[in-house]
Structure 1
Protein backbone atom coordinates (compact mmCIF):
# COMPACT_ATOMS: atom_id res chain seq x y z
CA UNK A 1 0.00 0.00 0.00
CA UNK A 2 1.51 3.34 -1.06
CA UNK A 3 1.85 5.94 1.68
CA UNK A 4 0.60 9.49 1.15
CA UNK A 5 3.95 10.85 2.36
CA UNK A 6 7.40 9.53 3.32
CA UNK A 7 7.34 7.72 6.64
CA UNK A 8 9.45 10.41 8.36
CA UNK A 9 6.82 13.01 7.44
CA UNK A 10 4.03 10.78 8.78
CA UNK A 11 5.90 10.52 12.08
CA UNK A 12 6.17 14.29 12.18
CA UNK A 13 2.40 14.56 11.55
CA UNK A 14 1.75 12.13 14.40
CA UNK A 15 3.88 14.13 16.82
CA UNK A 16 2.01 17.29 15.87
CA UNK A 17 -1.33 15.48 16.32
CA UNK A 18 -0.25 14.26 19.76
CA UNK A 19 0.54 17.82 20.88
CA UNK A 20 -2.55 19.43 19.36
CA UNK A 21 -4.97 16.75 20.61
CA UNK A 22 -3.20 16.16 23.92
CA UNK A 23 -3.04 12.41 23.36
CA UNK A 24 -0.17 9.95 23.86
CA UNK A 25 2.25 9.63 20.96
CA UNK A 26 1.41 5.95 20.42
CA UNK A 27 -2.26 6.86 20.01
CA UNK A 28 -1.39 9.60 17.50
CA UNK A 29 0.82 7.17 15.57
CA UNK A 30 -2.00 4.62 15.39
CA UNK A 31 -4.45 7.31 14.22
CA UNK A 32 -2.02 8.41 11.51
CA UNK A 33 -1.63 4.79 10.41
CA UNK A 34 -5.40 4.31 10.22
CA UNK A 35 -5.60 7.40 8.02
CA UNK A 36 -3.18 5.59 5.68
CA UNK A 37 -5.36 2.45 5.66
CA UNK A 38 -3.43 0.38 8.23
CA UNK A 39 -4.73 -1.18 11.43
CA UNK A 40 -2.05 0.39 13.61
CA UNK A 41 1.35 2.07 13.38
CA UNK A 42 3.14 -1.24 13.97
CA UNK A 43 1.31 -2.64 10.92
CA UNK A 44 2.32 0.35 8.79
CA UNK A 45 5.94 0.15 9.97
CA UNK A 46 6.16 -3.59 9.31
CA UNK A 47 4.65 -3.16 5.85
CA UNK A 48 7.17 -0.47 4.97
CA UNK A 49 10.23 -2.16 6.51
CA UNK A 50 11.47 -3.94 3.39
CA UNK A 51 11.25 -0.70 1.41
CA UNK A 52 13.02 1.54 3.90
CA UNK A 53 16.17 3.18 2.60
CA UNK A 54 18.01 1.71 5.62
CA UNK A 55 17.34 -1.84 4.40
CA UNK A 56 18.90 -1.03 1.04
CA UNK A 57 21.67 1.13 2.48
CA UNK A 58 22.96 -1.48 4.92
CA UNK A 59 23.21 -3.99 2.08
CA UNK A 60 25.58 -1.57 0.30
CA UNK A 61 27.90 -1.03 3.27
CA UNK A 62 31.03 -3.12 3.74
CA UNK A 63 33.11 -4.12 6.79
CA UNK A 64 35.56 -1.34 7.56
CA UNK A 65 33.38 1.46 6.16
CA UNK A 66 33.36 4.88 7.80
CA UNK A 67 30.15 6.49 6.59
CA UNK A 68 28.86 10.05 6.68
CA UNK A 69 25.06 10.42 6.92
CA UNK A 70 23.99 14.02 6.35
CA UNK A 71 20.66 15.83 6.28
CA UNK A 72 19.03 19.07 7.37
CA UNK A 73 17.03 18.99 10.63
CA UNK A 74 13.70 17.19 10.26
CA UNK A 75 14.70 15.15 7.22
CA UNK A 76 15.13 11.86 9.02
CA UNK A 77 18.87 11.33 9.61
CA UNK A 78 18.45 10.23 13.24
CA UNK A 79 15.63 7.86 12.33
CA UNK A 80 17.72 6.51 9.46
CA UNK A 81 20.56 5.89 11.90
CA UNK A 82 18.24 4.00 14.23
CA UNK A 83 16.79 2.04 11.30
CA UNK A 84 20.31 1.01 10.28
CA UNK A 85 20.91 -0.22 13.84
CA UNK A 86 17.64 -2.17 13.79
CA UNK A 87 18.53 -3.75 10.44
CA UNK A 88 21.90 -4.79 11.87
CA UNK A 89 20.20 -6.40 14.86
CA UNK A 90 17.85 -8.27 12.53
CA UNK A 91 20.89 -9.80 10.82
CA UNK A 92 22.23 -10.90 14.24
CA UNK A 93 24.96 -8.27 14.46
CA UNK A 94 25.84 -6.13 17.45
CA UNK A 95 24.76 -2.52 17.07
CA UNK A 96 25.59 0.63 19.02
CA UNK A 97 23.82 3.99 19.02
CA UNK A 98 25.98 6.71 20.58
CA UNK A 99 24.20 10.03 21.04
CA UNK A 100 25.33 13.34 22.47
CA UNK A 101 22.04 14.87 21.34
CA UNK A 102 19.22 12.88 23.04
CA UNK A 103 18.54 11.00 26.25
CA UNK A 104 17.70 7.31 26.34
CA UNK A 105 13.97 7.93 26.68
CA UNK A 106 13.89 9.94 23.45
CA UNK A 107 15.85 7.23 21.63
CA UNK A 108 13.43 4.51 22.69
CA UNK A 109 10.45 6.72 21.84
CA UNK A 110 11.87 6.91 18.33
CA UNK A 111 12.30 3.14 18.25
CA UNK A 112 8.59 2.90 19.10
CA UNK A 113 7.82 5.26 16.23
CA UNK A 114 9.65 2.82 13.97
CA UNK A 115 7.35 0.04 15.13
CA UNK A 116 10.14 -1.72 17.03
CA UNK A 117 9.63 -3.57 20.29
CA UNK A 118 12.27 -2.44 22.79
CA UNK A 119 12.60 -5.94 24.23
CA UNK A 120 13.34 -7.34 20.79
CA UNK A 121 16.31 -5.09 20.08
CA UNK A 122 17.83 -4.14 23.42
CA UNK A 123 19.69 -7.46 23.79
CA UNK A 124 21.71 -6.61 20.67
CA UNK A 125 21.38 -2.82 20.48
CA UNK A 126 23.41 -0.74 22.94
CA UNK A 127 22.14 2.83 23.41
CA UNK A 128 24.81 5.04 24.97
CA UNK A 129 24.07 8.65 26.00
CA UNK A 130 27.23 9.37 27.99
CA UNK A 131 28.63 12.90 28.01
CA UNK A 132 32.07 11.30 27.53
CA UNK A 133 31.36 10.09 23.99
CA UNK A 134 34.34 10.67 21.69
CA UNK A 135 36.38 8.42 19.38
CA UNK A 136 38.40 6.79 22.17
CA UNK A 137 35.25 6.20 24.22
CA UNK A 138 33.46 4.64 21.25
CA UNK A 139 36.42 2.37 20.45
CA UNK A 140 36.66 1.20 24.08
CA UNK A 141 32.90 0.64 24.26
CA UNK A 142 32.74 -1.47 21.10
CA UNK A 143 36.00 -3.28 21.82
CA UNK A 144 38.53 -4.71 19.42
CA UNK A 145 37.02 -8.18 19.85
CA UNK A 146 33.63 -7.09 18.49
CA UNK A 147 34.09 -8.00 14.83
CA UNK A 148 31.47 -6.75 12.38
CA UNK A 149 29.65 -4.39 14.76
CA UNK A 150 27.64 -1.42 13.49
CA UNK A 151 27.97 1.89 15.34
CA UNK A 152 25.91 5.03 14.82
CA UNK A 153 27.24 8.37 16.13
CA UNK A 154 24.72 11.16 16.75
CA UNK A 155 26.34 13.37 15.71
CA UNK A 156 29.65 14.35 14.06
CA UNK A 157 29.80 18.04 15.02
CA UNK A 158 29.44 17.29 18.75
CA UNK A 159 32.42 14.92 19.06
CA UNK A 160 34.95 17.68 19.72
CA UNK A 161 32.58 20.08 21.44
CA UNK A 162 34.35 19.49 24.75
CA UNK A 163 37.80 21.04 24.83
CA UNK A 164 39.32 18.00 26.51
CA UNK A 165 38.47 15.85 23.47
CA UNK A 166 40.93 15.59 20.56
CA UNK A 167 40.33 17.56 17.38
CA UNK A 168 37.60 16.18 15.13
CA UNK A 169 40.10 15.22 12.40
CA UNK A 170 42.16 13.21 14.91
CA UNK A 171 39.06 11.42 16.20
CA UNK A 172 37.84 10.44 12.73
CA UNK A 173 41.28 9.11 11.79
CA UNK A 174 41.14 6.91 14.89
CA UNK A 175 37.65 5.67 14.01
CA UNK A 176 38.66 4.94 10.40
CA UNK A 177 41.64 2.89 11.63
CA UNK A 178 39.46 1.03 14.14
CA UNK A 179 36.77 0.23 11.58
CA UNK A 180 39.36 -1.14 9.15
CA UNK A 181 41.06 -3.22 11.83
CA UNK A 182 37.88 -4.79 13.22
CA UNK A 183 35.62 -4.95 10.18
CA UNK A 184 33.14 -2.72 11.97
CA UNK A 185 30.92 -0.20 10.18
CA UNK A 186 30.79 3.27 11.74
CA UNK A 187 28.16 5.79 10.62
CA UNK A 188 28.46 9.41 11.72
CA UNK A 189 25.34 11.55 11.44
CA UNK A 190 26.08 15.08 10.29
CA UNK A 191 24.48 18.49 10.10
CA UNK A 192 24.04 20.17 6.73
CA UNK A 193 24.60 23.91 6.45
CA UNK A 194 21.33 25.84 6.14
CA UNK A 195 22.73 27.60 3.06
CA UNK A 196 22.00 24.38 1.15
CA UNK A 197 18.31 25.31 1.13
CA UNK A 198 19.05 28.31 -1.07
CA UNK A 199 21.00 26.34 -3.71
CA UNK A 200 18.00 24.88 -5.53
CA UNK A 201 19.61 21.42 -5.52
CA UNK A 202 17.43 18.45 -4.61
CA UNK A 203 19.94 16.75 -2.30
CA UNK A 204 23.01 17.92 -0.32
CA UNK A 205 26.62 16.93 -0.99
CA UNK A 206 29.98 16.97 0.78
CA UNK A 207 30.33 20.70 0.14
CA UNK A 208 27.22 21.30 2.29
CA UNK A 209 28.51 19.65 5.48
CA UNK A 210 28.64 22.13 8.36
CA UNK A 211 32.20 22.01 9.69
CA UNK A 212 33.05 24.43 12.50
CA UNK A 213 36.44 22.66 12.71
CA UNK A 214 38.66 21.23 9.93
CA UNK A 215 38.06 17.64 8.79
CA UNK A 216 39.61 15.58 6.01
CA UNK A 217 36.51 14.30 4.24
CA UNK A 218 38.55 11.62 2.43
CA UNK A 219 38.62 9.71 5.72
CA UNK A 220 35.06 8.61 4.93
CA UNK A 221 34.61 5.68 2.57
CA UNK A 222 30.95 6.43 1.76
CA UNK A 223 28.44 9.23 2.27
CA UNK A 224 24.64 9.18 2.33
CA UNK A 225 22.68 12.40 1.93
CA UNK A 226 18.96 12.76 2.64
CA UNK A 227 16.39 15.39 1.75
CA UNK A 228 12.63 15.38 1.22
CA UNK A 229 12.30 11.63 1.71
CA UNK A 230 15.06 10.83 -0.79
CA UNK A 231 18.39 9.21 0.14
CA UNK A 232 21.51 9.06 -2.04
CA UNK A 233 24.54 6.88 -1.16
CA UNK A 234 27.89 7.51 -2.83
CA UNK A 235 31.45 6.23 -2.53
CA UNK A 236 34.15 8.64 -1.39
CA UNK A 237 37.30 6.55 -0.95
Structure 2
Protein backbone atom coordinates (compact mmCIF):
# COMPACT_ATOMS: atom_id res chain seq x y z
CA UNK A 1 0.00 0.00 0.00
CA UNK A 2 1.54 3.28 -1.15
CA UNK A 3 -0.22 6.50 -0.13
CA UNK A 4 0.62 9.85 -1.67
CA UNK A 5 1.25 11.27 1.82
CA UNK A 6 1.23 10.12 5.46
CA UNK A 7 -2.25 9.59 6.84
CA UNK A 8 -2.09 12.63 9.15
CA UNK A 9 -1.44 14.84 6.09
CA UNK A 10 -4.35 13.22 4.26
CA UNK A 11 -6.60 14.02 7.22
CA UNK A 12 -5.38 17.62 7.15
CA UNK A 13 -6.13 17.79 3.43
CA UNK A 14 -9.64 16.46 4.05
CA UNK A 15 -10.28 19.15 6.68
CA UNK A 16 -9.29 21.82 4.16
CA UNK A 17 -11.59 20.29 1.55
CA UNK A 18 -14.46 20.23 4.05
CA UNK A 19 -13.85 23.86 5.04
CA UNK A 20 -13.34 25.20 1.52
CA UNK A 21 -16.26 23.32 -0.04
CA UNK A 22 -18.59 23.53 2.94
CA UNK A 23 -19.15 19.75 3.06
CA UNK A 24 -19.20 17.39 6.05
CA UNK A 25 -15.81 16.06 7.09
CA UNK A 26 -16.80 12.44 6.47
CA UNK A 27 -17.59 13.31 2.83
CA UNK A 28 -14.25 15.04 2.45
CA UNK A 29 -12.44 12.06 3.98
CA UNK A 30 -14.17 9.71 1.54
CA UNK A 31 -13.18 12.00 -1.33
CA UNK A 32 -9.52 11.89 -0.27
CA UNK A 33 -9.76 8.10 0.11
CA UNK A 34 -11.07 7.77 -3.47
CA UNK A 35 -8.16 9.83 -4.71
CA UNK A 36 -5.87 7.29 -2.98
CA UNK A 37 -7.66 4.35 -4.62
CA UNK A 38 -10.06 3.38 -1.82
CA UNK A 39 -13.84 3.36 -1.98
CA UNK A 40 -14.16 5.14 1.37
CA UNK A 41 -12.05 6.45 4.25
CA UNK A 42 -12.79 3.52 6.57
CA UNK A 43 -11.13 1.14 4.09
CA UNK A 44 -8.04 3.34 3.81
CA UNK A 45 -7.71 3.78 7.58
CA UNK A 46 -8.25 0.08 8.31
CA UNK A 47 -5.51 -0.87 5.86
CA UNK A 48 -3.10 1.59 7.47
CA UNK A 49 -4.03 0.25 10.91
CA UNK A 50 -3.48 -3.34 9.78
CA UNK A 51 0.02 -2.58 8.54
CA UNK A 52 1.13 -1.20 11.91
CA UNK A 53 -0.93 -3.59 14.05
CA UNK A 54 0.10 -6.89 12.51
CA UNK A 55 3.72 -6.70 13.64
CA UNK A 56 2.75 -6.17 17.26
CA UNK A 57 0.17 -8.98 17.09
CA UNK A 58 2.66 -11.40 15.54
CA UNK A 59 5.15 -10.63 18.32
CA UNK A 60 2.53 -11.53 20.93
CA UNK A 61 1.45 -14.81 19.36
CA UNK A 62 2.89 -17.99 20.83
CA UNK A 63 3.35 -21.30 19.04
CA UNK A 64 0.07 -23.20 19.18
CA UNK A 65 -2.15 -20.13 19.59
CA UNK A 66 -5.63 -19.89 18.11
CA UNK A 67 -6.47 -16.29 17.16
CA UNK A 68 -9.76 -14.66 16.20
CA UNK A 69 -9.61 -11.62 13.89
CA UNK A 70 -13.11 -10.18 14.06
CA UNK A 71 -15.01 -7.20 12.72
CA UNK A 72 -17.98 -6.07 10.68
CA UNK A 73 -17.70 -6.11 6.86
CA UNK A 74 -15.36 -3.47 5.48
CA UNK A 75 -13.45 -2.79 8.69
CA UNK A 76 -10.18 -4.52 7.83
CA UNK A 77 -10.27 -8.04 9.27
CA UNK A 78 -9.25 -9.73 6.00
CA UNK A 79 -6.58 -7.10 5.39
CA UNK A 80 -5.18 -7.72 8.86
CA UNK A 81 -5.16 -11.48 8.32
CA UNK A 82 -3.24 -11.11 5.06
CA UNK A 83 -0.84 -8.61 6.62
CA UNK A 84 -0.09 -11.14 9.36
CA UNK A 85 0.85 -13.67 6.69
CA UNK A 86 3.13 -11.19 4.93
CA UNK A 87 4.86 -10.34 8.19
CA UNK A 88 5.27 -14.03 9.02
CA UNK A 89 6.82 -14.64 5.59
CA UNK A 90 9.08 -11.61 6.14
CA UNK A 91 10.32 -13.38 9.29
CA UNK A 92 11.12 -16.48 7.26
CA UNK A 93 8.12 -18.44 8.53
CA UNK A 94 5.80 -20.58 6.43
CA UNK A 95 2.54 -18.68 5.79
CA UNK A 96 -0.64 -20.22 4.38
CA UNK A 97 -4.01 -18.67 3.50
CA UNK A 98 -7.03 -21.00 3.43
CA UNK A 99 -10.01 -19.21 1.89
CA UNK A 100 -13.56 -20.21 1.05
CA UNK A 101 -14.33 -16.65 -0.07
CA UNK A 102 -11.61 -15.52 -2.53
CA UNK A 103 -10.23 -16.94 -5.72
CA UNK A 104 -6.45 -17.24 -5.72
CA UNK A 105 -6.27 -14.35 -8.20
CA UNK A 106 -8.32 -12.10 -5.89
CA UNK A 107 -6.22 -13.02 -2.87
CA UNK A 108 -2.94 -12.41 -4.74
CA UNK A 109 -4.19 -9.02 -5.92
CA UNK A 110 -5.08 -8.03 -2.35
CA UNK A 111 -1.70 -9.23 -1.09
CA UNK A 112 0.18 -7.28 -3.76
CA UNK A 113 -1.61 -4.10 -2.65
CA UNK A 114 -0.22 -4.68 0.86
CA UNK A 115 3.30 -5.84 0.00
CA UNK A 116 5.60 -2.84 -0.19
CA UNK A 117 8.85 -4.79 -0.04
CA UNK A 118 11.13 -5.46 -3.02
CA UNK A 119 11.23 -9.22 -2.54
CA UNK A 120 7.73 -10.19 -3.71
CA UNK A 121 6.77 -11.86 -0.45
CA UNK A 122 3.16 -12.19 -1.55
CA UNK A 123 4.21 -14.64 -4.26
CA UNK A 124 5.80 -16.91 -1.63
CA UNK A 125 2.62 -17.28 0.39
CA UNK A 126 0.58 -20.42 -0.15
CA UNK A 127 -3.06 -19.78 -1.02
CA UNK A 128 -5.58 -22.61 -1.00
CA UNK A 129 -9.09 -22.03 -2.31
CA UNK A 130 -10.56 -25.55 -2.42
CA UNK A 131 -14.23 -26.03 -1.56
CA UNK A 132 -13.02 -28.97 0.54
CA UNK A 133 -11.37 -26.68 3.10
CA UNK A 134 -12.23 -27.95 6.57
CA UNK A 135 -10.32 -28.84 9.73
CA UNK A 136 -9.25 -32.21 8.27
CA UNK A 137 -8.11 -30.55 5.04
CA UNK A 138 -6.15 -27.86 6.91
CA UNK A 139 -4.52 -30.37 9.26
CA UNK A 140 -3.48 -32.61 6.37
CA UNK A 141 -1.94 -29.65 4.55
CA UNK A 142 -0.11 -28.28 7.60
CA UNK A 143 1.12 -31.61 8.97
CA UNK A 144 4.89 -31.63 9.06
CA UNK A 145 5.14 -27.83 8.97
CA UNK A 146 7.81 -26.18 11.08
CA UNK A 147 6.77 -24.84 14.46
CA UNK A 148 5.85 -21.18 14.19
CA UNK A 149 4.07 -21.62 10.84
CA UNK A 150 1.18 -19.16 10.52
CA UNK A 151 -2.12 -20.10 8.87
CA UNK A 152 -5.10 -17.81 8.32
CA UNK A 153 -8.56 -19.29 7.70
CA UNK A 154 -11.15 -17.24 5.80
CA UNK A 155 -13.50 -17.54 7.54
CA UNK A 156 -14.83 -19.16 10.73
CA UNK A 157 -18.58 -19.08 10.11
CA UNK A 158 -18.50 -20.92 6.76
CA UNK A 159 -16.17 -23.80 7.62
CA UNK A 160 -19.21 -26.03 8.05
CA UNK A 161 -21.47 -24.58 5.36
CA UNK A 162 -21.41 -27.91 3.51
CA UNK A 163 -23.49 -30.48 5.36
CA UNK A 164 -20.91 -33.14 4.55
CA UNK A 165 -18.39 -31.38 6.80
CA UNK A 166 -18.21 -31.88 10.58
CA UNK A 167 -19.91 -29.44 12.93
CA UNK A 168 -18.05 -26.16 13.39
CA UNK A 169 -17.47 -26.86 17.08
CA UNK A 170 -15.78 -30.18 16.24
CA UNK A 171 -13.60 -28.53 13.60
CA UNK A 172 -12.40 -25.76 15.93
CA UNK A 173 -11.68 -28.33 18.64
CA UNK A 174 -9.64 -30.43 16.19
CA UNK A 175 -7.69 -27.41 14.98
CA UNK A 176 -7.01 -26.24 18.53
CA UNK A 177 -5.61 -29.66 19.42
CA UNK A 178 -3.51 -29.80 16.25
CA UNK A 179 -2.15 -26.26 16.68
CA UNK A 180 -1.12 -26.94 20.27
CA UNK A 181 0.70 -30.18 19.38
CA UNK A 182 2.29 -28.93 16.14
CA UNK A 183 3.23 -25.45 17.40
CA UNK A 184 1.38 -23.85 14.48
CA UNK A 185 -0.41 -20.50 14.85
CA UNK A 186 -3.93 -20.62 13.41
CA UNK A 187 -5.89 -17.39 12.90
CA UNK A 188 -9.57 -17.36 12.01
CA UNK A 189 -11.15 -14.38 10.28
CA UNK A 190 -14.55 -13.99 11.91
CA UNK A 191 -17.77 -12.10 11.43
CA UNK A 192 -19.20 -9.86 14.12
CA UNK A 193 -22.95 -9.96 14.60
CA UNK A 194 -24.88 -7.08 13.08
CA UNK A 195 -26.40 -6.38 16.51
CA UNK A 196 -23.05 -4.81 17.50
CA UNK A 197 -23.74 -1.15 18.25
CA UNK A 198 -20.73 1.19 17.90
CA UNK A 199 -22.77 3.87 19.66
CA UNK A 200 -22.63 1.87 22.90
CA UNK A 201 -18.99 0.70 22.64
CA UNK A 202 -16.18 1.59 20.25
CA UNK A 203 -15.06 -1.96 19.52
CA UNK A 204 -16.83 -5.31 19.47
CA UNK A 205 -15.81 -8.02 21.91
CA UNK A 206 -16.08 -11.79 22.28
CA UNK A 207 -19.81 -11.52 23.01
CA UNK A 208 -20.36 -10.01 19.56
CA UNK A 209 -18.92 -12.91 17.54
CA UNK A 210 -21.55 -14.17 15.13
CA UNK A 211 -22.25 -17.81 15.94
CA UNK A 212 -24.92 -19.39 13.72
CA UNK A 213 -23.67 -22.70 15.17
CA UNK A 214 -22.41 -23.25 18.70
CA UNK A 215 -18.63 -22.97 19.22
CA UNK A 216 -16.64 -22.90 22.44
CA UNK A 217 -14.88 -19.54 22.09
CA UNK A 218 -12.75 -20.48 25.07
CA UNK A 219 -10.70 -22.60 22.66
CA UNK A 220 -9.21 -19.37 21.31
CA UNK A 221 -6.20 -17.91 23.12
CA UNK A 222 -6.37 -14.39 21.69
CA UNK A 223 -8.79 -12.22 19.75
CA UNK A 224 -8.34 -9.00 17.80
CA UNK A 225 -11.40 -6.81 17.29
CA UNK A 226 -11.57 -4.06 14.68
CA UNK A 227 -13.90 -1.18 13.91
CA UNK A 228 -13.49 2.18 12.16
CA UNK A 229 -9.73 1.98 11.92
CA UNK A 230 -9.28 1.04 15.58
CA UNK A 231 -8.18 -2.39 16.81
CA UNK A 232 -7.39 -4.13 20.06
CA UNK A 233 -5.76 -7.49 20.77
CA UNK A 234 -7.13 -9.25 23.85
CA UNK A 235 -6.49 -12.49 25.65
CA UNK A 236 -9.50 -14.78 25.67
CA UNK A 237 -10.14 -15.78 29.28
TM-score between both structures, scaled by the size of structure 2 = 0.79
Secondary structure in 1 aligned to 2:196? helix
Unaligned runs of 5+ in 2: 1-5, 12-28
Is the Cα contact below 8 Å between 1:134 and 1:171 reproduced in 2?
yes
C-alpha distance 231-49 of structure 1, shift in aligned 2 (>3 A)? closer
> What is the match of residue 200 of structure 1?
200
Q: Distance in 2 between matches of 1:210 and 1:49?
A: 23
- Equivalenced residue count is 208
Give 1:124 shift: 3.7
The residue number in structure 1 matching 2:67 is 67
Distance 2:183 2:105 in 1: 30
Other-structure match for 2:173 = 173
* TM-score (norm. length: structure 1): 0.79
SS at 1:195 equivalent: coil
Q: Is 1:111–1:118's contact at 8 Å kept on the other side of the alignment?
A: no
Q: 1:101-140 alignment to 2 at 5 Å?
A: 101-116=101-116, 120-122=120-122, 124-140=124-140
Counterpart secondary structure, 2:197 = helix
1:84-233 equivalences under 5 Å are 84-116=84-116, 120-122=120-122, 124-197=124-197, 200-233=200-233
Consecutive unaligned residues of structure 1, counting only runs of 5 or more, are 6-11, 19-27, 37-44
| Corresponding residue for residue 26 of structure 2 | none
Question: Larger C-alpha radius of gyration, 1 or 2?
Answer: 2
Contact 1:222 1:235 in 2 (8 A): yes
Take 1:51 and 1:107, find their aligned partners in 2: how far apart are those partners?
Answer: 17
